[in-house]
Structure 1
Amino acid sequence: MDLLRELTTAEKLALLHQAQPAVPRLGLAAFHTGCEALHGVAWLGPATVFPQAVGLGATWDRGLLREVGAAAGTEVRALHHDDGRASLNVWAPVVNPLRDPRWGRNEEGYSEDPFATAQLAIAYCTGLRGDDPSVWRTTPVLKHFLAYNVETLRDKADIAVPERVLHEYELPAFLGPLRAGVVAGVMPGYNLVNGVPNHVHPLLRVLRSAAPDVVICSDAYAPSNLLAQFPTAAEGHAAALLAGVDSYTDNGPDGGPTVAAFTEALDRGLVTLADVDAAVGRILAMRAWTGEFSRDADPYAGTPREVVAGAEHGRLAARAARAGIVLLKNAGGALPLSSPGSLPGTVAVVGHLGDRVLRDWYSGSLPYAVTVADGLRDRLGADRVTAVDGLDRVRIPLFGDTVLARQDWGTSVQCPVPVHTFRAPSGYLTADDAGVLSLDAPTPDGWEVRELWELHPVDGGVALRSNALGRFVTAALTATGSLDDAAAFAVEPVSSGIEAAVAAASAADRVVVVLGNDPHINGRETVDRDGLALPAEQEALLRAVCAANPATVLVLVSSYPYAVDWAQDHVPAILWTSHAGQELGSAVADVLLGTVNPGGRLPQTWYRGDTVLPAPTDYDVIGSGWTYQYFRGEPLYPFGHGLSYTTFAYGPLTVDGPTARVTVTNTGERDGDEVVQLYVTPHAWPVPSPSRRLAAFERVPLAAGESREVVLDVAAEALAHWSGDGLVTPPGSYTFTAGPSAVTVSR
C-alpha cells in the first residue's frame, strides 16, 4: 500500500493504538476502532434497540438476523456521517458458544451450538458488511477468542481445554464467519487457554489461516494485563504483535504508553519494522474496505441521520421481538388468552417486569418503550388491565417518611450476600464516588451499579453496605465506613407486595406474571450467576399468585435460562423472551392474545434445578457432559424446544450426500413457523461421540394445512471429529434425524 510506505516509523506506531491520530500531511484522518453494535448501536444515545443476541438466537432465522445486522450497520453509518463518533469498525457479534448458562454474559451469545452460532453470526455480519462488492458498510469484529465463558477473575482465569473441544466446539464459531468473508477482525478474550494468554496465543494464527487479512484487535486494557506474564510492557506488546495482535485498546484514548512500549521493543530488537508494517498494513486495509481512501462513490455516504431509531427500524425491532419469543409450556390451551372473535375479561399483570422495559450494558438508549402491560392495554383497553409490581414497600428512617419499593435480586458468584435495590418516587437509592447518598438514580445502570445494597444484620437492625463501593453507611449518612463504623437501621414494612399481587390476581379473570432479571444485576459482564433458580422472592410471588388464581400465565423476561421446575409442574403456560428492546411489550401481547403464533426455539438447554452442572471453569464439553450434545441427564427444556399454537408433522427423511429432504406439514388450523432441525448421531467414531449434533436448520413458515419439502444442506463438519491432524469423518454408520428439537425427532 502506497500510504504505508509514506508513513514514518513514529506515525506507524501511533496507528497501532485504538485511537489513531490524523496524519494531515498524507490526508489521513483520525480514526478509532470499536463501535458497539451487538443488537443495535450502543453507547451513542437513542438508537433502535433490537432483542438481545440470545433472543436473536432464539429466532433461528438467518434472514432476519441479516436484516437486523443491516439496520444496525446503517445506523452506525448514519451516526458516523453525522458527527464521527461512531466508528465504522464495529465490535460485534459475540460468537462464544453458550456452554454454561450461569455465564454472566450469556445474553451476548447466540446459541450453545457452535454451528448455529456460526450460521447466525454469518447472517448478522453479512448485514453489517453490506451488499456492495467493494465497499463495506461497517467492518465487524468477532468477540472473544477463545474459550471465554467466565467472568470471575476473567483476566487471570487459565482455562484448560482439551484439543478435541478446541477444534470441535470452540473454534468453529469463529472460523465459519471468517471463511465466509464477512468479518474484518477478531478480538481475543482476557483469559488464558492452556496456560497462555489469549492475546499472545499461538492459536491466533488459525484465524489468519482462515482469513489472512483479518485484524486482531485487543480487548480493552488487555495489553496492560500482559504485565502479569511479561517483565515489561515492551516485552508484552512485542509478544502480542508477534502472535498476531494488530490494534491495541489500552489506556483509553491515550496512545502514548502503547507508542512508548513499541518504540522500546523496536530499539531492543524484540520486533522488527517489518512486523509493525504487517500490522499497520492490515489496519489500513480494514479502513480502506469502508471506502475511506477510495475516489469512487461511497454507496453508504448518503445514509441520513433520520434512519437512527426511525419507524422502519422500529417495525423490524417488533418483528425480531416477536420472532424470538419461545412458548415453553401450554397445557389445556391456556394460551392464547383470547379465542377468535372474543377477548379475555380482565387481566392482572403482576411482577417487577410487567410495566418496565430494561436495556443492557450493550444497548443503545431506548427511543421508546412498550411494556407488557402497555401492550395489553393497547389491545384490550386500559380499564381491563391492572399492573402490580409485587414488591414490598418499606421505610428506612434515614430517609424520613419516604416509602421505598424494595427488591431482592439474590446472590452471585462474586457476592454471596443478596443484593437489593430501593426505589423511591424520585428514583433509586444510590451513592456517588464520595459515598454521598441520594434517591435520584433513574435505574440501576453503569459499569459500576451504584444502586445495589447489601443488608447485614447488626445489633439494633441492619447495616447497609454499598455493593459497588464496598463501604457501609455510617451515622453521617454516607457510604464511607467499615462494618465497625456502620449505623444500624430498621427496615420498617409498609405494605406487602405479595398481598397486593394476590388481591389483583383474585380480582382478575386472567393473570400474567412477568418475572426475570435486570441485565445489570447478578448476571452481566464481570458478574457470573451462582445458580439457575429464580430469586426466592420472585418464586414466592409466583406461587402465591397461582394459588390465588390458577388461570395464570408466566412470562420470563431474561438474559439466560432459569430452572423453573415448580412453574413447569404448576403453571398452565410459560413464555420466555430475552430483553427484547423497545417493542418487547407489543410482541409479548401479540403472542399472549394469539395475534402472533410463537415460533421461537430455545438456543440453549434449560437444565432442571437439581442438575449438577460442571464447574464454570470446566470447559471439557465432551468429558463433563456440557450442552445437548453430551449432557447425560433429562433437561427441563431441551435445546431447540418451542411450542406453537398449531401442530406440525414430519414425513420421511432422506439424506443423499450433502443434501437432506423432509416434508413438513402444518396439521393445525393456524398459520405458523416451524424450525426444522437436522441432527446426526455418529456410531463408528473411535472417540466418544455426541448423542446428537446439529447438522442443518431452517425456519419455515407454513399456512394451516400447507405441506412443504424442506431441503437442508448438511454441514460436513457435523459428521467429523478432530483426529490430532485435522477433522476426519470415519466410515461407518451415521443416523440422521429431523424434528422440532434435539430430543423430539422424526427419523
Structure 2
Amino acid sequence: FLPALREGVAVAVMPSYNLVNGRPAHLSPLINDVLRAAAPDELMVVSDAMAPGNLVDPQHYYDDHATAYAHALRAGIDSFTQDDDRAEATLAHLRDALDRGLITEEDLDRAATHILSVRVRLGEFDPEPLRRVDPDTVNSPAHQALARTAARRSIVLLKNDGILPLRDPRRIAVIGQLADTLMEDWYSGTLPYAITARAGLAERTETVFCEGVDRIALRTNEGYLTASADGTPMTITPAPGFGPVAESAAFDLFDWGGAWALRAVVNGRYVSEDENGHLTNDQPGPNGWEVRQTFRWQPDPNGTGVLQHIATGRYVAVGDNNTVTLTPDADSAAVFAIDTLRSGATEAAAIAATAEVAIVVAGDHPLVNGRETEDRTDLDLPAAQEKVLRAVRAANPATVLVLTSGYPFGIVWADEHIPAILWSAHGGQEYGRALADVLFGDADPTGRLTQTWYRSAAELPDLFDYDIIANDATYLYYLGSPLYPFGHGLSYTTFDYTDPEVHVTDDHVTVHVTVTNTGDRFGEEVVQCYTHQRVSRVKQPLRKLQGFARVALHPGESRRVRIDFPIHALAIWDVTRSRFVVEDAPRTVHLGRSAKDLRVCAPLNVPGEPIGPRPATRLHAADNDEYHGVVLCAAAKDRGDAVRATEPGAWIAFLDVDFTPAPKEAVICANTDQPGTLTLRIDNPISGPTVATADIPAATDHFDFTEVRIPVDSVTRRHDLYIVFEAAGTALAWIDLS
C-alpha cells in the first residue's frame, strides 16, 4: 500500500478482520510504524465493520471493550465502525477508557484530526452552493460514455485463434447464467440501467438466448418441495401418481461453484429463509449483507443428498404440517432426490447449433462468491457451467467463452478447446455494449491481467500460508508455466519492441523503448516495464513490475514510449537492519507485453549500498532469513513479534552472522507452555556443531516471555546460525550473543 499512500492518491486504509503475526490487525504496530510513516498527515484509518467488538469476542484478545477500544485507538484506528448507526456504546467505551487512564484526550484529538482533515479536503464543510451537484450531471450522456469506456478497457482477451473480431454474423446464440444479467455487490451502488451481454449483442445482430440452467424438482419420500405463487412458506406436497411434475415443484438451479441458488418457476423468485426459519420463494435473487439464498448440496452414495443452508449452516428439513424448515441436526435433514425436468446443457447445445457463433457468458456471483467467508477449494469453473460450455462447443465449434468474475479460473479445458476466451470483472451498466465493441472489433481489447492465472489449485500454497517468497508464489516468484501470466492480454494486432534505453538520475529511472504496430489494424498496446536484480543477499523476484504505459498506434506506426519509476522502488526489506535498502547489485530492465512475454532488455545500474554480515547482537526471531516449521506470533499484547514452533525440530536461520569478538554467553527471550529446549547450531540445523543449549521454563501465559542466560562454546568469524526448537509450542522473541 505504500506507493499509493506516498503519492497521496489514497487517503484512508481499513485493517482486516484477521490476525497479523498473532495479533488482530486492528492492533498492529504496522499501522503507525509503516502506514503513517508513509503519509504522516494525510492518512485516516477506519475499522472494518464490527471489528472493534471482535477484539473481545470472538478473538478474546482483551477482556473488556474499554481496554480493547483504547488499544485500537492508540494503535492508529481513527474511526470505529460498530453497531451500525448507534454510536452510544462506542462513545461509552471510549469515555470509560479515558476515565481509567487507558487513553488521553490527545489520543482522541489525534484521531478526530485525521478524520476532520479528510472531511475538509472532501469539501464537506464548504458553503452549500459550492458542494451541490447538478442532478442533470448524474447518469448524463458523458457519464454513460465514460462507463462504456471503462468497461471496454477492462476486457482482457485471453485467447484468440482468429475467430475474433466477429465478421458480421447473422445470428448469435447468447448462453449462460450471466448472459442476461448484471451483478451488483455490497459496494457497487445501484445501477441506473443495465445493458447485459445479451442486450448489447442484440443491438448489433439477431440473437437467440438460453440461460443454460437445469430445471429440477426436489423429491423426498413424502413428496416434492413445492413453492407458491405468492411466496408464502414452502411445503412438501405429495407426489402425483402419474403425469408431469406441477409447475409449483419446478426450480431453476444456478450453480455458483459449491453454492446453489434455486429459482421457483411458479413466480420467478428465489428460495430463501424467512425470519421464522421457514423456506420461502420471495426473493429477487441472492442479496443482502449476509446472503441467505444459497445452499450446499451434500450427496450420499445412494444418489440422493441433503441441502445445507450456507448462511446458517443448518439443513433443510420437513416440519409440522409438511412445512419446510431448517434444522441444525444433519440426521434430521430431509433426504432429496433430484429429478431433472430439463437439461440446461442440452437446451444450450440445441440453441447454439442454430447460430453462426455461440457466446457463453460464465463466471461468479459477487454476492455469493465474493466475500471473506467464501474460500474456494479449487479453481474450477462451476460444474454446471462447465457442462454447458462443453455441450455448446460440441454443438458449435465457433464458440467464444466470456468470463465475468472477481477472480481467476483454471480453465484448462477451455483453453485447449475454445477458439476465443475473454475475461473481465462485472462491468457496470454499459457492460453489454462494451463487450459488443470488443467482440465486433470496434475497439482493440486493452485490458491486462492483474493476477497470475494458474492451471489448478495444486500450484498454490496452503490457503493460510502467506509466504509468497518461500512458496514461489505470484508472478514475482512463480517458476512454472501459468495458464495466463500476470499482465497478459492479447490484441487484434501485433507489436514489436526495439531500442531500449535506460537513464538514471539522482532519484529516478527513466526507460525508453520504441513500439511499432506491425499488424494491419489500429491497436492499443500496454507496454510493461519489469526489473530483475541479478545478485542479492536475499531471494529476488524473477521479475517485478515497475511501471506501464498505454500507446495507441495505427498500422506501421512507431512511437517512443517512456516509463519512469523512483529508485526507491528497487528497495528490498533488509532484515539485518529492519529497513528498506537499495542493494548494490547488477540489475536488468525488461520490457514487453506481460510477465512472460518480455521482448527487449537493457542493463540497469543504480547507486546502492552493500548489506554486510549481521552482528551477533539482539537477533530478533521474526527477522530470520530462513525457517522451517514455525509461525509468527505476538511477543507482547501491544507490539513485538516472535516465532513459535509448530513441530519438533523446527528451526530459524540467521545467515552470515559475525561472531567477532567471540561471544561467551547468550541471552534468550523465549516462551513455552511446557518445558522446552532450544539448540544453537552453526552452518546446518541438523548436523552443524552445537554451540549452546537453552532450557526454557514453562509459562501459563503466551505473552510471558522469559530471559534465559546460557554459556556459548567458542565460535568465531562468520557463520550461519540456526536455532532449533526441540519441541512444538516453544516460542522465541530474540537472542543476544554480544
Q: TM-score range by the shorter chain?
A: 0.7 to 0.9
Cα distance change on mapping 1:622 and 1:463 into 2, 3 Å: closer
Equivalent residue for 2:592? 739
Equivalent residue for 1:466? 309
How far did residue 693 of structure 1 move?
0.7
How far did residue 420 of structure 1 move?
4.1
Cα distance change on mapping 1:488 and 1:186 into 2, 3 Å: closer
Cα distance change on mapping 1:290 and 1:327 into 2, 3 Å: closer
How far did residue 298 of structure 1 move?
6.8
Equivalent residue for 1:567? 414
Equivalent residue for 2:119? 287
Contact 2:27 2:71 in 1 (8 A): yes
How far did residue 525 of structure 1 move?
3.4
Q: Higher strand fraction: Structure 1 or Structure 2?
A: 2
After superposition, what is the alpha-carbon deviation per residue over 1:526-571, rounded to whole angstroms, capped at 9, x for unaligned?
A: 2122211111221122112111211111111111100011111111
Q: Distance in 2 between matches of 1:369 and 1:293?
A: 35
Equivalent residue for 2:702? none
Q: Distance in 2 between matches of 1:181 and 1:489?
A: 57
Q: Distance in 2 between matches of 1:699 and 1:232?
A: 53
> Aligned partner of 2:347: which letter?
A
Cα distance change on mapping 1:301 and 1:409 into 2, 3 Å: closer
Matched, 1:366 2:191: yes
Equivalent residue for 2:237? none
Deviates more, 1:625-634 or 1:271-280: 271-280
Equivalent residue for 2:369? 522
How far did residue 487 of structure 1 move?
3.6
Contact 2:316 2:325 in 1 (8 A): yes
**What's the C-alpha RMSD, in Å, of the aligned pairs?**
2.0
Contact 1:406 1:423 in 2 (8 A): no
Give me the TM-score of the superposition, normalised by structure 2. 0.73
> Aligned partner of 2:292: which letter?
R
Q: Distance in 2 between matches of 1:525 and 1:555?
A: 25
Equivalent residue for 1:552? 399
Equivalent residue for 2:323? 477
Which residue of the other structure, out of 618, 625, 630, is the alignment partner of 2:465?
Answer: 618
Which residue of the other structure, out of 508, 511, 514, is the alignment partner of 1:663?
Answer: 514
Matched, 1:204 2:34: no
Matched, 1:244 2:244: no
Query: What secondary structure sits across from 2:374 in the alignment?
Result: coil
Matched, 1:309 2:139: yes
How far did residue 625 of structure 1 move?
1.2
Match runs of 1:60-71 below 5 Å: none
Query: What secondary structure sits across from 1:620 in the alignment?
Result: coil
Query: What secondary structure sits across from 2:475 in the alignment?
Result: helix
How far did residue 310 of structure 1 move?
3.1
How far did residue 611 of structure 1 move?
3.9
Match runs of 1:128-143 below 5 Å: none
Structure (1 or 2) with the larger CA radius of gyration: 2
Deviates more, 1:559-568 or 1:713-722: 713-722
Query: What secondary structure sits across from 1:281 in the alignment?
Result: helix
After superposition, what is the alpha-carbon deviation per residue over 1:404-441, rounded to whole angstroms, capped at 9, x for unaligned?
A: 21123332xxxxxx534334243112221212332231
Contact 1:427 1:440 in 2 (8 A): yes
Cα distance change on mapping 1:558 and 1:681 into 2, 3 Å: same
Contact 1:694 1:718 in 2 (8 A): no
Q: Distance in 1 between matches of 2:464 and 2:333?
A: 36
Contact 1:398 1:477 in 2 (8 A): no
Equivalent residue for 2:152? 322
Matched, 1:389 2:211: yes
> Aligned partner of 2:100: which letter?
R
Percent identity between the two aligned chains: 46
The number of residues matched between the two structures is 558
Contact 2:318 2:334 in 1 (8 A): yes
Match runs of 1:294-443 below 5 Å: 300-331=130-161, 333-338=162-167, 343-380=168-205, 384-396=206-218, 397-399=224-226, 400-402=246-248, 403-411=250-258, 419-424=260-265, 425-443=267-285
Query: What secondary structure sits across from 1:264 in the alignment?
Result: helix
Q: Distance in 1 between matches of 2:113 and 2:159?
A: 54
Matched, 1:446 2:288: yes
Matched, 1:255 2:87: yes
Cα distance change on mapping 1:299 and 1:716 into 2, 3 Å: farther
After superposition, what is the alpha-carbon deviation per residue over 1:40-61, rounded to whole angstroms, capped at 9, x for unaligned?
A: xxxxxxxxxxxxxxxxxxxxxx
Contact 1:516 1:558 in 2 (8 A): yes
> Aligned partner of 1:226: which letter?
L
After superposition, what is the alpha-carbon deviation per residue over 1:626-668, rounded to whole angstroms, capped at 9, x for unaligned?
A: 1111011110000001111111111121101111100101111
Q: Distance in 2 between matches of 1:501 and 1:310?
A: 37
Query: What secondary structure sits across from 1:220 in the alignment?
Result: coil
Equivalent residue for 1:131? none
Contact 2:377 2:457 in 1 (8 A): no
Deviates more, 1:354-363 or 1:630-639: 354-363
How far did residue 461 of structure 1 move?
5.2
Contact 1:684 1:730 in 2 (8 A): no
Q: Distance in 2 between matches of 1:471 and 1:610?
A: 29
Equivalent residue for 1:698? 549
After superposition, what is the alpha-carbon deviation per residue over 1:273-292, rounded to whole angstroms, capped at 9, x for unaligned?
A: 22222222333333333344
Q: Distance in 2 between matches of 1:388 and 1:512?
A: 10
Query: What secondary structure sits across from 2:535 in the alignment?
Result: coil
Q: Distance in 2 between matches of 1:526 and 1:310?
A: 37
Q: Distance in 1 between matches of 2:381 and 2:451?
A: 18
Contact 2:194 2:428 in 1 (8 A): yes
Query: What secondary structure sits across from 2:400 in the alignment?
Result: strand
How far did residue 739 of structure 1 move?
0.5
Cα distance change on mapping 1:738 and 1:521 into 2, 3 Å: same
Structure 1 runs (4+) greater than 4 angstroms displaced: 297-300, 456-462
Which residue of the other structure, out of 575, 583, 589, is the alignment partner of 1:730?
Answer: 583
Determine which structure has greater relative contact order: mean sequence separation of CA pairs < 8 Å that are 6+ residues apart, divided by chain length: 1
How far did residue 714 of structure 1 move?
2.8
Q: Distance in 2 between matches of 1:439 and 1:586?
A: 33
Contact 1:460 1:489 in 2 (8 A): no
Cα distance change on mapping 1:229 and 1:366 into 2, 3 Å: same
Q: Distance in 1 between matches of 2:495 and 2:476?
A: 24
Consecutive unaligned residues in structure 1, runs of 5 or more: 1-172, 412-417
How far did residue 715 of structure 1 move?
3.5
> Aligned partner of 2:324: which letter?
T
Q: Distance in 2 between matches of 1:522 and 1:318?
A: 25
Equivalent residue for 1:681? 532
Q: Distance in 1 between matches of 2:45 and 2:534?
A: 39
Match runs of 1:474-513 below 5 Å: 474-475=318-319, 476-481=322-327, 482-513=329-360
Equivalent residue for 1:266? 98
Deviates more, 1:469-478 or 1:191-200: 469-478
Q: Higher helix fraction: Structure 1 or Structure 2?
A: 1
Contact 1:360 1:520 in 2 (8 A): yes
Q: Distance in 1 between matches of 2:160 and 2:46?
A: 46
Q: Distance in 2 between matches of 1:454 and 1:620?
A: 31
After superposition, what is the alpha-carbon deviation per residue over 1:174-232, rounded to whole angstroms, capped at 9, x for unaligned?
A: x2222223433222211221122221211111222222232222111111111111121
How far did residue 489 of structure 1 move?
4.3
Q: Distance in 1 between matches of 2:304 and 2:30?
A: 55
Q: Distance in 2 between matches of 1:630 and 1:284?
A: 42
Contact 2:379 2:408 in 1 (8 A): yes
Query: What secondary structure sits across from 2:492 in the alignment?
Result: coil
Q: Distance in 2 between matches of 1:428 and 1:466?
A: 13
